[in-house]
Chain A
């Protein structure tokens, strides 16, 4: 168990809908990262927050947004969902803001868009 929790485990929804994925980092970690994993693209970095502020942005679509709250948990919002958004979404956390610190991954949320 990495100490990172993600809810829900599974999510099934329809095209055009909006969903929210939630992540709680390990105790004491200030950085939260969101990744998307699909068979086609592998594990792709979406966005990072550090202590409530956006720190880095990757291949995140405009339809997706995220935030980190004062208690350090984070939410990833996905809107106007398309079939191609079906994937595993992982959250990871680390103590520091840069890559020198180990990122610990949560168990993921499996999103299925029908």
Chain B
């Protein structure tokens, strides 16, 4: 079993839809949770960074962490064609520099 599991998609939605992207993990030592967005042929860019359980909102994006279920989510409201990209979840343990990534979910938002 991989440490971080993420459905590769693709996930296709119409413009304006609410998108839900998810990751599950097996290592209970993970305490820092991140979502990166990666456009085709570009490097990943950080979207959201959360510590431990709870919700964090930034504009149209909401990150949710449920440590009891080892489950994290990213919600995108009012999705736009420009949101079409691959979304990678990443996790880290306290005091460690290593990030463990999911394989990424490809999102396609059609106009």
Residues of chain A touching chain B, judged by Cβ–Cβ distance below 8 Å, are 2, 4, 31, 33, 41-45, 48, 50, 55-56, 58, 90, 92, 97-100, 102-108
B97 touches A33 (CB 8 A): yes
A4 to B102, CA, bound (A): 23
Chain B interface residues (CB < 8 Å from chain A): 32, 36, 41-46, 49, 88, 92-104
Q: Tell whether A103 pairs with B99 under 8 Å between CB atoms, given A4-B43, A42-B104, A108-B43.
A: yes
**Cross-chain pairs A/B with CB under 8 angstroms, 8 sampled:** A44-B101, A45-B100, A56-B97, A56-B98, A104-B46, A106-B43, A108-B42, A108-B43
A58: nearest residue on chain B (CB-CB)?
A: B98
A-chain residues with CB within 8 Å of residue B104 when the two chains form the complex: 42-43
Asked whether A55 and B46 contact (CB < 8 A) given A42-B102, A42-B104, the answer is: no
- Determine how close the nearest CB of chain B comes to the CB of A38; give it in whole angstroms: 10
* Of B41, B43, B93, B103, the contact of A99 (CB 8 Å cutoff): B93
